[in-house]
Amino acid sequence: MEDNAKQSAAEQLQAAKAAAAEKLDTLKNEAGQHIDAAAAQLDQFKEQLVAKAQELGKDVDVEALKAQATEQFEVAKAATAEKLAGLQAQAETTFAAAAAKADELADAAEDKIDDLKAEAAVQLEAAQARIDELKGEAAQQLEAAKEKAQGIWNKLFGE
């Protein structure tokens, strides 16, 4: 039964680790999607800005505007990527710490189960010794009862 409990706890631990790893992967994927979406949106804004500038006429330096929009886009993209990388690193650190703690707790539980098994073995040995003592006492009592019955029989029937 302890092996089943140990196995069940190990299975639950593995399931929890797998779920946490899956969430971490989901976070990474979502972060990548958000970066891609932000990049597409910034590109679209840049194109709209350039188109608007071209509509207004030749007084606006379209190439300078394009360069400025591209620079702003790269800065925003880099800042977003840096923030997401920081969050991802925090998530990975959290996951690693949780997995290590879970492993530590699983090891401690195994040690505790081993201790409990040893204690149970000691208790069972003590119980077996006490049962053996009681068997001996019972045998003595039966023998005494037989002798007493024999004595009564002999008194009654004179044998």
- At 2 the pLDDT is 56
SS3 at position 59: coil
Q: For residue 99, what are the CA distances in angstroms to 15, 93, 126?
A: 11, 10, 40
- At 36 the pLDDT is 77
List the one residue out of 87, 80, 82 whose CA is nearest residue 37: 80
The fraction of the chain above a pLDDT of 90, given in percent, is: 1
Rounded to the nearest 10°, the torsion over CA 108, 109, 110, 114 is 100
SS3 at position 158: coil
Average pLDDT, the chain: 79
Residue 58 pLDDT exceeds 60: no
pLDDT band at 5 (very low <50, low <70, confident <90, very high): low
Residue 73 pLDDT exceeds 80: no
**DSSP H helices in the chain:** 2-56, 62-157
Q: Which residue has the tokens 């990548």?
A: 32
pLDDT tens, 93-132? 888 888 888 888 878 888 888 888 888 888 888 888 888 8
